[in-house]
Amino acid sequence: MSTAPLSVPSDEAGPAARAVGLTKVYGEGDTAVTALDAVSVEFDRGRFTAIMGPSGSGKSTLMHVCAGLDSVTSGKVYIGDVDLTTLKDNDLTRLRRDAVGFVFQAFNLVPTLSALENITLPMDIAGRPVDQEWVDAVIDTIGLRDRLRNRPSQLSGGQQQRVAAARALASRPQIVFADEPTGNLDSRAGAEVLSFLRRSVDEFGQTIVMVTHDPTAASYADHVLFLADGLIVDTMEDPTPDRVLDRMKGFDGKGRRS
């Protein structure tokens, strides 16, 4: 194997993704819910950002909108230089396929495909050749080389999430979004997934945005955004579990703005 530096594309300048005045309203009239209220945020390249906040604060919504999975009510969302809000479904899908990686809380894998096939799925769908060297590096990092032939149902939950994370990275996306990737895992399995994400940032320069409720998980990030009622209410650099926990407690009392 060559020793050429393996990393995600970072030749472009500026943040990997950003949102400007992003507003997302669900429903209409009396039942309208403002999930995001004019949020502006930048996700810098090669950084690991955690998003935290109480339930219903808009974390998932922010992630979905930034990843091009959902439409915006107003505002702009960019992946690199591309404005997602102007794209039609097919272009948006292609952009997701080529520039964005995902890890969901569960059901990440196609049950009929082997672990390896799941990892290369985005490239296969695109009909693009697989960058074997890169994929090998990713697989070595998740440490599941001996389970590649297995179907998801033959893997533990933690292994499945690591496969999902590997898939998110395999296509060398500009940015990876993960929504509570460790939500269903015990602390050990969670730690395996998180350290893999951390390593991908450190070793490959991957940009990662992760939603989590867990202060320990957040402590793997470089940087934490705190969301409450659709607004970014605070940020924290170099988080530790204790500091994050402290900050979270602050929300409990005055969670709701009214």
Partner 1 sequence: MLRSAWRSLLHHKLRLILSGVAIVLGVGFVVGTLIFTDTLNTTFTNLFADTSSDVVVTPAQDSGGRAFAGTVPTMPGSTLDDVRAVQGVAAAGGQVLVDGVSVVDQAGEVLGTPGAPQFGSNWSDDERLTPFRLVEGRGPSAPNEVALDSVSAEKSGYSVGDTVRLVTPTGPLSVTLAGVFRYGTSGNLAGATIAAFSTDFAQELLLGGEDAYTEIDVVASESVTQDALAAAVRAVVGDGVTVRTGQEAADDATAQITEGLAFVNIFLLVFAGIALFVGTFIILNTFSMLVAQRSRELALLRALGATRGQLVRSLILESAVLGLVGAVLGIAVGVGVAFGLEGLFGALGADIPTEGLVVLPRTIVVGVAIGVLVTVIAALSPAIRASRIPPMAALRDDVALPTRSLRLRAVLGTLLLAGGLAAMTAGAASGGGSGSQLVGLGVVGALVGAIVVSPAIAGPLVRVLGFAFPRLFGTVGSLAVQNAERQPRRTAATASALMIGLALVSALTIFATSAKASITEVIDRVIGAEFLVSSGAQRPFPEQVASDLAATEGVAAVAGVKLVPVQVADTGTLLVAADPGALGRMITLPFVAGSLADVGAGGVAVDTQTAADQGIAAGDPVSVQLPTGATLEYRVTALYEPAGAYSGYVVDRASLAEADVAVGDSFVYVLAAEGADLGQLQSDLEAGLADYPTVQVQSQAEFKAQITSSVDQILLVMVMLLSLAILIAILGIVNTLVLSVVERTREIGMLRAVGALRRQIRSMVVLEALVIAVFGAVVGLGLGVWFAVSLQRTLVDQGIEVLEIPWAGLAFFLVLAGVVGVLAALWPAFRAGRLNVLEAISTE
Binding mask 59-78 for partner 1 (x = CB under 8 A): -----x----xx--------
- Nearest residue relative to Mg ion (C-beta): 60
Three-state secondary structure call for residue 228: strand
Map the footprint of ligand ATP across residues 14-73, applying CB under 6 A: 26-27, 33, 35, 53, 55-61
Q: Is 60 in the site for Mg ion (CB under 5 A)?
A: yes
**Tokens standing for residue 199:** 């390593």
Q: Is 258 in the site for partner 1 (CB under 8 A)?
A: no
**Tokens standing for residue 195:** 């350290």
Amino acid, single-letter form, for residue 120: T
Cα 104 to Cα 106: distance, rounded to the nearest angstrom: 5
Cα 194 to Cα 169: distance, rounded to the nearest angstrom: 14
- Of 33 and 126, nearer to partner 1 (C-beta) is 126
| Total residues at interface with partner 1 (CB under 8 A) | 29
**15: DSSP letter:** -
- Please, what is the minimum distance in Å from the beta carbon of residue 40 to ligand ATP? 17
**9: DSSP letter:** -
- Please, what is the minimum distance in Å from the beta carbon of residue 70 to Mg ion? 12
Q: DSSP E strands: which ranges in 27-129?
A: 33-43, 48-52, 74-79, 82-83, 100-103
Map the footprint of ligand ATP across residues 148-167, applying CB under 6 A: none
Q: Is 169 in the site for ligand ATP (CB under 6 A)?
A: no
**Tokens standing for residue 187:** 């602390």
Cα 55 to Cα 64: distance, rounded to the nearest angstrom: 16
H or E element at residue 131? none
- Of 58 and 152, nearer to ligand ATP (C-beta) is 58
**Tokens standing for residue 232:** 């970014």
Name the binder of 90 from ligand ATP, partner 1, Mg ion, none, CB < 5-8 A by kind. partner 1
Report the interface residues with partner 1, using CB under 8 A. 64, 69-70, 89-90, 93-94, 96-98, 102, 104, 106-113, 121-122, 124-127, 153, 167, 184
Report the interface residues with ligand ATP, using CB under 6 A. 26-27, 33, 35, 53, 55-61
